[in-house]
Chain A
Amino acid sequence: MDSTRPETSSRADTADREIVISRVIDAPRELVFEAFTDVRHLSQWWGPAGFTTTTRAFEFRVGGVWDFVMRGPDGTDYSEWITWTELVPPERIAMLHGEYRDDPNAFESVLTFAADGAATRIEMLTVFPTRELRDEAIEKHGAIEAGQQTLGNLAAYVAETRAGRRRS
């Protein structure tokens, strides 16, 4: 990493407690955004391959809640509780992500959707209340993901193969 490179998106005050993940998807921005707006869509892709979601409540609006259980391929259940804090279709979604209502360890993710030609660049900036909570989340998701790496790689491979076949 070249430290002299100008970093427009990085904010020094939160750098040690944030995680940025980005992805370019070959589809119009409106369509990619739509996949985040309805549980019918979300339940089809949320979590790595082999994970399923069972929704208790879902209301897509600022202040609305998605209360659900995520089940891993090994049968382990993970309680998830999401509330949206900002919605700007089709540009931005901000959400608070915890394990239950009023979870003090909840963290905020801001998803931005930017048109990139005919494709869409998603950037997910997650800022944790403290560096310790970030490390904890990493460990928790690491635990969820542990043993799923093979499946994850398989999913990536399948997605690439499918996308490649569609493009060619």
Chain B
Amino acid sequence: MARAATTSDVFNAIAEPRRREILALLRAGERPVTELADALGMTQPGASKHLRVLREVGLVRDRREGKQRLYGLDARGLRAVHEWTGGFEQFWNASFDRLDAYVQDMKQERQEG
């Protein structure tokens, strides 16, 4: 299980720039591996390897259509990323919530005092 760290963690998976490029390409819709490989200037086995990692962490799903296999974004895996990437803003918005409450207390004290 040498690859467990990469394949079980969404964030390790998207730390790789080429995999982020694949996700960006898939935003436009489902595509077969051959098209993805072309767009990325990669070999097909190279693109397949990245797609396998993305699929294992739940960021990409695939389905068979006729003779070819189509890859698309997996909304479930992306939800975790979306929540996670909101972290910095959430941290500060939560801090500013407390700041707001604190400043209201300051204001009231000054008015009373």
Interface of B is mostly: helix
Number of chain B interface residues as a range: 20 to 34
- For residue B104, CB closer than 8 A to chain A, the reply is yes
**Of A31, A145, A159, A163, the contact of B91 (CB 8 Å cutoff):** A145
Selecting from A6-14, A18-26, A86-94, the interface stretch reads A18-26
Q: Are A21 and B94 in contact (CB under 8 A)?
A: no
Write out, one digit per residue, whether chain B residues 36-68 have a CB within 8 A of any chain A CB (1) or not (0): 000000000000000000000000000000000
What residues of chain B lie closer than 8 Å to A46, measured between beta carbons?
95, 98
Indicate whether B90 reaches chain A with its CB closer than 8 angstroms.
yes
CB-based contact B98/A49 at 8 Å: yes
A45-B99 Cα distance, complex, nearest whole Å = 5
A48 within 8 A of B: yes
Residue pair B88, A158 in contact (C-beta under 8 Å):
no
List of A residues within 8 angstroms of B85 by Cβ? 135, 138-139, 142
A48 CB contact (under 8 Å) in B83, B91, B108, B110? B91
Asked if B107 lies at the interface with its beta carbon under 8 angstroms from chain A, I say: yes
Inter-chain contact A156/B94, CB cutoff 8 Å: yes
When distances are taken between beta carbons in the complex, the residues of chain B under 8 Å from A34 are 106
Q: Does A124 contact B (CB under 8 A)?
A: yes
With contact pairs A26-B104, A31-B106 given, residues A142 and B98 touching in the complex (Cβ less than 8 Å): no
CB distance from B111 to the nearest CB of A (A): 11
List the A residue with the shortest CB-CB distance to B106: A31
Flag whether A39 is at the interface (Cβ < 8 A). Answer: no
Bound together, the chains give a CA A126 to CA B54 distance in angstroms of: 30
A142 and B88 within 8 A (CB): yes
Q: In the complex, how many angstroms separate the beta carbon of A161 from the nearest chain B beta carbon? A: 10
Chain B residues with CB under 8 Å of A148's CB are 94
**Chain B: minimal CB distance from A4 (Å):** 22
Contact call B96/A23, Cβ cutoff below 8 A: yes
Docked CA distance A32–B103 (Å): 6
Among B91, B92, B97, B106, which residue has its beta carbon within 8 angstroms of that of A27? B106
Across-interface contacts of A155 in B (CB, < 8 A): 94, 97-98
- Interface residues in chain B, defined as those with a beta carbon under 8 Å from any beta carbon in chain A: 11, 83-104, 106-108, 110
Q: Which residues of A contact B (CB under 8 A)?
A: 19, 21, 23, 25-28, 31-32, 34-35, 41, 44-49, 122, 124, 126, 135, 137-146, 148-149, 151-152, 155-156, 158-160, 162-163, 166
- For the complex of A and B, the 3 pairs showing the least CB-CB separation, nearest first, are A142-B87, A48-B94, A45-B98
